[in-house]
Amino acid sequence: MAQVGVGARGKIHADALLQLSDRYDLVGLCDIDAGRLRAYAAAKGLPDGLLYADAERMLAETRPEVFCFATLPDLRLPMVELGVRHGVRGLSFEKPMANSLREAWAIARLCRDHGIRGVVSHQHKYLTSFQNCRRLLDSGALGRLERVEATCQAWLGQLGTHYMDYVLWANGGSRAKWAVGHVHGRELLADSHPSPNYTMGHVEFENGVRAWFEFGRLSASHMARGKFWLDDRLTLYCSRGHAWADADGRWGAVASETLGGEGPTWAEQEPTRLQPLYYAELADWLDGAIDRHSCDVQMAYHGYEILNAVCLSALDHVRVDLPLDPASVPDVFARMRRELPECPEREE
């Protein structure tokens, strides 16, 4: 395994890989910020020989089987292309998977055409609160899944792609038939994670399940104000009850009996549980022990496609049927930059 980026998230990826030293051998670590790279290496006792300032050189010299990059969203396709050129078998990278549908499609296609097992770090599904809900759903105690609801205070490009992926995960990967939506506010289109300020979507899947979601500050809030980044929730409405999971440990379920509780918090799980489970599953996938990873890039692409359909629906005031043809759909983010009016956030 070789990795690019040791910023806030990169450190968590590298920590997980070092924790799974029986499954991964970290052969190279690269960052253009030499001070940051050296500080991390010193803290972990990593030798200088592992450190690189140039990703291409690192891949050429170390020839890793798996390539991870944890960089900001402006750097996705070029890193995937680099991995392809150097013959990697596995790719792991951060959300959002791209900054446009065409880029996302190019990434998903490269992975498929080159037989690369690609995963996107939508890792909340390893939280104990999420796993408790999923276990209840799979046990049949809630009856049949009918509707999934997802809310987060953070915007589409930040936590929206996470929660779109969790909708697909909860619904067993059924494909979307159509989407309608609403978007407003252009200010966050200038963010490092470009997004309308607020997004609301409604989707019907081929298995008849529906999803409703909202991303951005107007979304329903479930927590104290200081927990903005953790103020998000996935709720599963079923024929005989419902269950919900928060990112910070709480979960609940109402079925024939009422269940729920306070699990370990986000801070207690993020470094030691989520990323190690994500990478253990990737190792299992590469070893052929499982058929599919729960953060598979192909499913992440479908989530990204649905989000683009929601934005298009909002711009054109129509229902948008899926799949989208990435070659003929104009870049929806460019359109939103042109067409959405200003909408400065008002702090209530």
Contact footprint for ligand NAD (CB under 6 A): 4-10, 30-33, 36, 55, 70-73, 75, 94-95, 121, 123, 193
For residue 130, the minimal CB distance to ligand NAD (Å) is 13
Q: 72 vs 220, which CB is nearer to ligand NAD?
A: 72
Distance from C-alpha of 118 to C-alpha of 296, rounded to nearest angstrom: 6
Q: 94 vs 281, which CB is nearer to ligand NAD?
A: 94
For residue 170, the minimal CB distance to ligand NAD (Å) is 18
For residue 195, the minimal CB distance to ligand NAD (Å) is 11
| Backbone torsions φ then ψ of 278, nearest 5 degrees | -60, -45
Residue 122: closest CA among 300, 301, 2: 300
Distance from C-alpha of 332 to C-alpha of 327, rounded to nearest angstrom: 12
Give me the helix-helix angle, 297-316 and 101-113, nearest 10°: 160
Cis peptide before 271 (omega within 30 of 0): no
For residue 199, the minimal CB distance to ligand NAD (Å) is 16
Q: 268 vs 339, which CB is nearer to ligand NAD?
A: 268
Residue nearest to ligand NAD (CB): 7
Q: 126 vs 237, which CB is nearer to ligand NAD?
A: 126
Q: Beta strands of 223-327 (E only): which ranges?
A: 232-238, 241-246, 250-254, 258-262, 320-321
Q: 94 vs 103, which CB is nearer to ligand NAD?
A: 94
Q: By the 8 A CB rule, do 129 and 250 touch?
A: yes
CA geometry: angle 143, 123, 8, nearest 5 deg: 155
For residue 157, the minimal CB distance to ligand NAD (Å) is 8
The token pair at 220 is: 């329903």
The four Cα atoms 238, 243, 246, 248 give a dihedral, to 10 degrees, of -150
For residue 58, the minimal CB distance to ligand NAD (Å) is 9
288: left (phi over 0), alpha (psi -120 to 50) or beta: left
Q: Which residues pair with 260 in a beta bridge?
A: 252
For residue 110, the minimal CB distance to ligand NAD (Å) is 18
Q: 120 vs 322, which CB is nearer to ligand NAD?
A: 120
Q: 15 vs 204, which CB is nearer to ligand NAD?
A: 15
The token pair at 183 is: 């978007």
